[in-house]
Amino acid sequence: MSCIRCIRNLRRSYSTQPPRPVRGMSDRLGVAEYKHRHILSRAEAAAESYGFEPIHTPILEYSSVYERSLGADSDVVGKEIYKFLDSSQQWMTMRPEGTAGVARALITNKLEGLMPQKFYYSGPMFRHERPQKGRLRQFEQFGVEAFGTSHPAVDIECISMAWQFLNSLDIDGDLSIRLNTLGDKESRVEYRSALLQYFTESKSRLSEDSLRRLNTNPMRILDSKDEADIAVAKDAPMYVDYLSSASRERFDFIKLGLDEHQIPYTLDDRLVRGLDYYQHTVWEVSCASDLLGRSQATVLAGGRYDGLTTALGGSRSLPGIGWAAGIERLALLLPDCRTPVPQSAIPVLIVPDRSLEPGSRVVGDCLYRYALSVASVVRKQRSAHVVHAPVHSSGSQSAMHPPLSKQLASVLSKTPAPPYVLIVGSNEMGQRQVIKRDTATQMQTVVDYGQISSHLDS
């Protein structure tokens, strides 16, 4: 009986309490949405200028897609993914990143034999992390993936594209690229062995997470944010000492290409990726700005992942490289004043007719239809809208309309404010005219209905 009472109380609380957003997931309104669109438009323009084409993959994938690509022992799979069992008893995962889904789509759509393939994408990703500034549980990314070409010239193109995109945004803060190479498989095996030996000798000083990684993937210890792990990793073997001659030549080609394109970078031999199919080039772009904070300074990261399609069960081991950028972090760095917004819609204001009902502000049906007709004429050249009564709870079609002063205050509070407004009342309707009011100078001009179009931009 008590359980039934608890359920009833819970239902009652649901019916009385307003809904609230899920923690770590936010709404985007007004300038924030225009900022998001602007960043995406610049990213898409950069990607298309390098011959990349759009792709859309589902938000929901079978969990195996991410477990096979990210690794079952990774923090993302082990701690952060949104995973559930559906009604068909299949494990499903909300997309935590974009690369695995694009690689899966490549295999599913039988594109492995049609190389090369270059894609760009954007959309929401989901990770159950502790929400903080620049880090949400539902966050937006833009990414690119290039499959089928192993030549290091593609690496230069990808880094160049990312740099072009970020610099086109005019964000606050200084951008910097950290660059490293993981070498080929031979180099990785040699380095992994050296790391394993080093960290095994120092395991008494490692964190619990790093002890777990010691035998599964010691390279991930280099990525640890634990202070004790950082202290131990400081004296770990250097990757550059284990590179094969072919890997060194490849990396030299990439560095020379970036120098020729005047793209600045800093070598960072501690920049790694833990998964086995990551090889050769890895890089991250950070922004030094108080708007982000030091722990969230990375705005874009990329790397070469030769062999990912094999990990997902593809028929061929295809070379691949790509990068992804966090839209929320870039939006924090982009001032509102530098965010382009669409041209304001022209408001059509209706002056209430007090003669219909003394003491009230009523807009008659004929006047409403006339205002709609005026807006329709304007809309042939630019956007326009009729300003309606804010609340209409009566049973009749006649609405209690706000006075003209309140309508003006409302439309002028928008960002950006419209350059002018059009005003109609009973007199204007009777004479087939409108009043055009300049919002900056407050000067008014009477315009005939048939001349509205010619006055719009004068």
Contact indicator for 341, 33 with CB cutoff of 8 Å:
no
Phi, psi values for residue 265, rounded to 5°: -155, 160
**216 annotated binding-site participant:** no
Q: Which amino acid does the sequence have at 207?
A: S
* 447 vs 292: CA distance, rounded Å: 51
Q: Which residues pair with 62 in a beta bridge?
A: 92
Q: Which residues pair with 94 in a beta bridge?
A: 60
**48 annotated binding-site participant:** no
* 49 vs 43: CA distance, rounded Å: 10
**123 annotated binding-site participant:** no
CA dihedral 186→187→188→191, nearest 10 degrees, is: 130
* 105 vs 119: CA distance, rounded Å: 11
CA dihedral 32→37→41→47, nearest 10 degrees, is: 90
* 365 vs 74: CA distance, rounded Å: 65
**278 annotated binding-site participant:** yes
Contact indicator for 57, 66 with CB cutoff of 8 Å:
no
Q: What is the DSSP string of 402-445?
A: PPHHHHHHHHHTSSSPPSEEEEE-HHHHHTTEEEEEETTT--EE
Contact indicator for 384, 418 with CB cutoff of 8 Å:
no
Here the contacts of 431-435 (C-beta below 8 Å, separation 24 or greater) are 434/348, 434/374
Record the tokens describing residue 27, joined without a space. 């709404």
* 387 vs 346: CA distance, rounded Å: 10
* 187 vs 281: CA distance, rounded Å: 13
Enumerate residues 6+ apart whose C-beta is below 8 A from 92. Answer: 60, 61, 62, 63, 83, 84, 85, 86
**97 annotated binding-site participant:** yes
Residue written as token pair 């000083």: 205
Q: How many CB atoms lie within 10 A of CB 92?
A: 15
Residue count of the chain, please give it.
458
**186 annotated binding-site participant:** no
Q: Which residues pair with 400 in a beta bridge?
A: 362
**277 annotated binding-site participant:** yes
Binding site members = 97-99, 127, 141, 145, 273, 277-278
Binding-site sequence positions for L-histidine: 97-99, 127, 141, 145, 273, 277-278
